[in-house]
């Protein structure tokens, strides 16, 4: 029989407080539960030893405590770990752990598949199955930290895996609040980044709800090219997208927007494209991250040469744009940007 009990990890802390209060339990017990679950990684309520036994038993009976189980993991030569996780309905979810010196970044998925169909993205080629629940988003963190090396700590979280976060906004916001909550994962607000392909009407909602970094997948600075790469651009063209960013009071030099620009040979890598990009984003507090395209079987596109990528970065820098050229991580295990397609089984 399938378990139809609700998942405790779907509850915001305020909702858990209210439930407990309604049962005559002190609401601050909610913080204790959250601290066991997320700060200490204990998912068995019977092991939450500072809770009254009767409460432990009620919690154990009423709720499900795990939303994702391990389904496989692959480790890259560069230390990147791709985790394949399985939801109760069999849906596969991928997350990636990326160590970089002192930093360890976790890349999370927000949907099974994605409806946006960006032309160069492996997830886009899969189509859309469903949104992930808050519990399934948070369980990616709970499972993936089991893959950390001794002494290694999770320092950053990016919502750049499968799916479009702003099309699953309430669940993403609840998950972010738990990532930031001092009794839960206790990450600093600047350590969490939510990336969008440009769902313009939801950008303000996100920025008002949680103090995270915003990343916007730009990839082109003229509508003709962007219409093809990111079909969502036909609904929310560059003027609307850049206008919304220009007017967002939350975006400031201290909290700039991160523009992602995947460099694709012969498509968006011309010197003229760099000049246009610098021109169009002028006045928006921003950093540009250039990422050479990661090739995969669902795209005929490829990355420009290393020299062409550097030249593009140089043209931006010369025009006063703060720019970094990223190297791709985990490409040998299909864990790089846009490669999280979760198709065949992994070891
Ligand atoms: N839907 C959100 C978040 C997921 S994609 C968004 O679009 O921002 C995370 C980033 O990876 C996006 O910038 C996306 O355009 C980029 N990406 C997708 N496929 C890629 C590929 N094959 N190579 C490099 N970057 C890719």
In this predicted model, what pLDDT tens digit does every residue of 201-230 receive, in sequence order? Answer: 999 999 999 999 999 999 999 999 999 999
* Nearest atom in ligand 1 to 195's CA: 8
pLDDT at position 52 is 97
CA of 77 to the centre of ligand 1 (A): 22
What are the tens digits of pLDDT across the range 31-72? 999 999 999 999 999 999 999 999 999 999 999 999 999 999
Q: Which neighbouring-strand residues pair with 98?
A: 105
Query: What are 291-303's pLDDT values in tens digits?
Result: 999 988 888 899 9
Q: For ligand 1, what atom is nearest to the CA of residue 293?
A: 23
pLDDT value of position 337: 73
**What confidence tens digit (pLDDT) does each residue in 236-277 have?**
999 999 999 999 999 999 999 999 999 999 999 999 999 999
pLDDT for residue 347:
36
Residue 276 and residue 222 in contact, taking contact as beta carbons nearer than 8 Å: yes
Q: Among 131, 168, 231, 291, which residue has the most ligand 1 atoms within 8 Å of its CB, making it the best to mutate?
A: 291
In the predicted structure, residue 29 carries a pLDDT above the cut 50: yes
Ligand 1 centroid to Cα of residue 214, in Å, is 14
Q: Give the whole-angstrom CA distance, residue 44 versus residue 180.
A: 23
In this structure, are residues 213 and 190 in contact, taking their beta carbons and an 8 Å threshold? Answer: yes
Q: What is the mean pLDDT of the chain?
A: 95
Is residue 343 pLDDT above 90, yes or no? no
| Helix (H) or strand (E) segment spanning residue 73 | strand 68-75
Q: Taking residues 84-101, report their average pLDDT.
A: 95
Dist CA 56 CA 81 (whole Å): 34
What angle do helix axes 271-281 and 306-318 make, rounded to 10 degrees? 40
CA of 338 relative to ligand 1 center, distance in Å: 5
CA dist., res. 157 & res. 103, Å (int) = 10
Catalytic residue among 94, 136, 164, 260: 94
What single DSSP character describes residue 70? E
The reported pLDDT for the residue numbered 341 is: 66
Q: What are phi and psi of 257, to 5 degrees?
A: -85, 145
Nearest alpha-carbon partner for 245 in 215, 223, 275: 215
Per residue in 149-164, pLDDT (tens digit) is 999 999 999 999 999 9
Catalytic residue among 118, 272, 337, 344: 337
- pLDDT at position 346 is 40
Which pLDDT band, with edges at 50, 70 and 90, does 340 fall under? confident
Which pLDDT belongs to residue 114? 96
């Amino acid at each position: 029989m399938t378990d139809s009990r609700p998942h405790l990890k779907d509850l915001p802390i305020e909702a858990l407080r209210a439930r407990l209060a309604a049962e005559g339990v002190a609401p601050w017990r909610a913080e204790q539960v959250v601290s066991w679950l997320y700060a200490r990684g204990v998912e068995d309520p019977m092991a939450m030893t500072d809770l009254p036994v009767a409460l432990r038993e009620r919690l154990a009976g009423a709720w499900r405590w795990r939303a994702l189980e391990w389904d496989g993991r692959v480790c890259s030569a560069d230390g990147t770990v791709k985790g394949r996780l399985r939801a109760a309905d069999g849906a596969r979810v991928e997350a990636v752990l990326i160590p970089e010196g002192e930093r360890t970044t976790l890349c999370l998925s927000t949907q099974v598949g994605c409806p946006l169909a960006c032309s160069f993205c492996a997830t886009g080629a899969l189509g859309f199955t469903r949104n992930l629940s808050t519990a399934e988003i948070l369980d990616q963190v709970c499972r993936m930290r089991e893959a950390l090396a001794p002494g290694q700590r999770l320092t950053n979280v990016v919502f750049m895996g499968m799916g479009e976060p702003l099309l699953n906004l309430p669940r993403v916001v609840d998950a972010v609040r738990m990532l930031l909550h001092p009794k839960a994962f206790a990450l600093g607000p600047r350590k969490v980044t939510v990336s969008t392909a440009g769902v313009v009407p939801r950008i303000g909602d996100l920025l008002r709800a949680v103090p995270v970094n915003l990343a916007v997948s730009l990839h082109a600075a003229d509508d003709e090219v962007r219409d093809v790469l990111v079909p969502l651009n036909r609904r929310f063209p560059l003027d609307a997208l850049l206008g919304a960013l220009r007017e967002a009071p939350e975006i400031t030099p201290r909290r700039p927007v991160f523009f992602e620009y995947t460099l694709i040979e012969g498509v968006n890598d011309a010197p003229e494209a760099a000049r246009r990009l610098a021109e169009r984003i002028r006045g928006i507090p921003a950093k540009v991250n250039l990422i050479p395209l990661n090739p995969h079987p669902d795209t005929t596109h490829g990355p420009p040469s290393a020299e062409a990528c550097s030249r593009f970065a140089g043209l931006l820098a010369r025009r006063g744009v703060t720019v970094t050229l990223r190297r791709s991580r985990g490409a040998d295990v299909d864990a790089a940007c846009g490669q999280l397609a979760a198709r065949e089984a992994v070891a």
